[in-house]
Amino acid sequence: FLGREFLSYIVGLVLVVVISRSARRETEYRLEAEKLSKQIETLSQDLERNRVASEIKANVDHLLVALMLNVDYINKVRFQSTELAIEGLKQARALAQESLAEVRKALAMIRDFAL
C-alpha cells in the first residue's frame, strides 16, 4: 500500500519536472523566434534601403550625365547657331528640373522608409 503512494508521488514528480522543462524550452524557443524575427526585419530594411539607394543613384546619375553632355553640346554650338544653343539650354533646364524632381522623389522615399 505504501509502495503505491510512493510510486504515485514519483510519477507526479517526474511529470512536474517534464512539464516545467517543456515550458522552459517553449519560452526559450519563443524568445529565439522573436530574436530571429527582429534580425529578419533588420535585414529586410537593409535590403530595401540598399535598393532605394541604388535606384536613386542610377536615376540621378543618368540625368546628370545627360545634363553634362547637353551643356557640352551648348558650349560647342553657342557661336555657330543661337537657335541650337537656345534649344540646348531649354533641354538642359528640363534635365535639371527632372534631376531635381528625382532627388525630391528619392528624399520622399527615404523619409517614408524611415517612418
Closest CA to 51 of 98, 112, 109, 105: 109
* 72-86: pLDDT as tens digits: 989 888 888 888 889
* Most confident of the following: 29-33, 42-46, 87-91: 29-33
CA-to-CA distance for 36 and 13, rounded, in angstroms?
34
Segment holding 69, helix H or strand E: helix 2-77
* 37-57: pLDDT as tens digits: 999 999 988 888 888 888 888
- On the question of pLDDT at 14 being above 80, the answer is yes
Task: Give the model's pLDDT for residue 39.
Answer: 95
CA-to-CA distance for 102 and 115, rounded, in angstroms?
20
Q: Euclidean distance between the first and final Cα of the chain, in Å?
A: 70
Task: Assign 23 a pLDDT band (cuts: 50, 70, 90).
Answer: very high
Percentage of the chain beyond pLDDT 90 is 33
- Triad 33, 35, 41: Cα angle to 5°: 100
